[in-house]
Amino acid sequence: MAASDPWLKLGLKKRHCLKTFSVPFRETYLARSGREIAGLVVIAMYGTFRGYIQSLFVAPAFRGQGLGEELMNFAEGKIFARSPNVFLCVSSFNKGAQRFYRRLGYKRAGVITDFFEKGSDELLLRKTVGPLRSFSPRRKKHGKR
């Protein structure tokens, strides 16, 4: 992860990436191909932006095969079961990721200027199924399956 963009371009090292997974209250889901990690998604389900996708990563050997979209669909399913909103940030220089998220229905909710470094903004994106106030979490059904 630390050896690929956008982490590489942002100067984020391995220790930062490892911290992403070890912070309490984050959920990390892996996609594997045999024993190899093909990708992962990290979500946070607490705070003001409950339903925040902290990281989405697809290993270089697995890119262009639909795994990123599969991981996003999985994360959205987890989040929309408990919240009406999915949030994420994408670096202003990461045009490919911006196109990817736009194709999946994400819209710009704001801009965080000079977030990691001067001249590098983060775009806050949101996908929603409705307002927070009228949201009702999906309940698991009990009984026969």
Mean pLDDT of the chain: 86
Query: For residue 140, what pLDDT is reported?
Result: 56
Query: For residue 10, what pLDDT is reported?
Result: 65
Q: What is the mean pLDDT of residues 5-10?
A: 62
pLDDT tens-digit profile of 42-56? 999 988 889 999 989
Higher pLDDT, 5 or 33: 33
Mean pLDDT: which of 22-36, 52-66, 126-140 is highest?
A: 52-66
Q: Angle CA(47)–CA(49)–CA(54) in degrees, nearest 5?
A: 100
Residues 6+ apart with CB under 8 A from 58: 38, 39, 67, 68, 71
Query: For residue 133, what pLDDT is reported?
Result: 86
pLDDT tens-digit profile of 48-91? 889 999 989 999 999 999 999 999 999 999 999 999 999 999 99
Between strands 52-58 and 85-91, the pairing is parallel
Measured from the Cβ of residue 106, the count of other Cβ atoms closer than 10 Å reads: 22
- The percent helix, strand, coil of the chain (3-state, each to 5) is 25, 35, 40
CATH homologous superfamily of 7-128? Gcn5-related N-acetyltransferase (GNAT) (3.40.630.30)
Whether the bond between 6 and the residue before it is cis, its omega within 30 degrees of 0, is yes
DSSP state of 41: E
